[in-house]
Structure 1
């Protein structure tokens, strides 16, 4: 009996949109729609997909209630990243990425089980809240149609 191999999850496109660079300071730097609530599986893919112009991320702050597992740190590409819980149960759905002395980036984290239409609306709103849409920002990681 032959079975069809399941596609590897790593080949699924990362659902990430970033605001265009050079538009000055903004409150949200983009949006990320992870595929699951497993932070240890989702965060490495996000970190690896960030622009090379961003400094190496050392700290990540998330709303721990959103994620099924919450280790204190995680090893990504031979680099330890410290994970921090956002304060309070009403913390916004954001992921704060920090490179000490180099920069901070805040991404809207769309909950993984959000309906596609709503997630697409949130992603577009976060991306366009500062400037026009730039589909060329991440041509390797487009949102699914």
Structure 2
């Protein structure tokens, strides 16, 4: 397992994240994230910084191994260690799973970075209302 220290964030366009409204019922998809690249070491800190505080500290992130390039076993994000896992499941190639101990699990649709804007916006809007 390798630990990677995350350099300070460089200026980038805004975080592209759309979340489903909070309810007592579980969602299949809790929202959508449209990263700017498949560089998880650059994209993940922005995602985690933009999540609702009520989600708590995200301690584990699972990404699809076929979609994302190799990742370290853990990384330092916002002064906290986040464990990274790669899944080989073919059932959810475009999702990321976020785990917060004693808080919950959230699954986000990952809109591929090279998706045209109009298509990406439609996917994100559908995910925010549970239509994906």
Fold agreement, TM-score > 0.5: yes
Distance 1:91 1:22 in 2: 23
| Residue 9 of structure 1: how far off its partner (Å) | 5.5
Query: Structure 1, unaligned stretches of length 5 or more?
Result: 1-7, 131-145
Distance apart, 1:86 and its partner CA: 1.4
**Cα RMSD for the two superposed structures:** 1.8
1:52 is matched with: 53
Report the CA distance between 1:84 and its aligned residue.
0.6
Structure with the greater alpha carbon radius of gyration: 1
Of the structure 1 ranges 81-90 and 119-128, higher mean CA displacement relative to structure 2 is found in: 81-90
Gaps spanning 5+ residues in structure 2: where? 1-8
CA contact (8 A) 2:66 2:93 kept: no
Tell me the CA shift for residue 64 of structure 1. 2.2
TM score, norm. by length of structure 1? 0.77
CA–CA distance in 2 between the matches of 1:106 and 1:43?
A: 14
More strand by share: 2
* Equivalent pair of 2:65/2:88 in contact (CA under 8 Å): no
Query: Structure 1 residues 71, 55: CA separation in 2 closer, same or farther (over 3 Å shift)?
Result: same
Give, in angstroms, the shift of residue 105 of structure 1: 0.6
How many aligned positions are there? 123
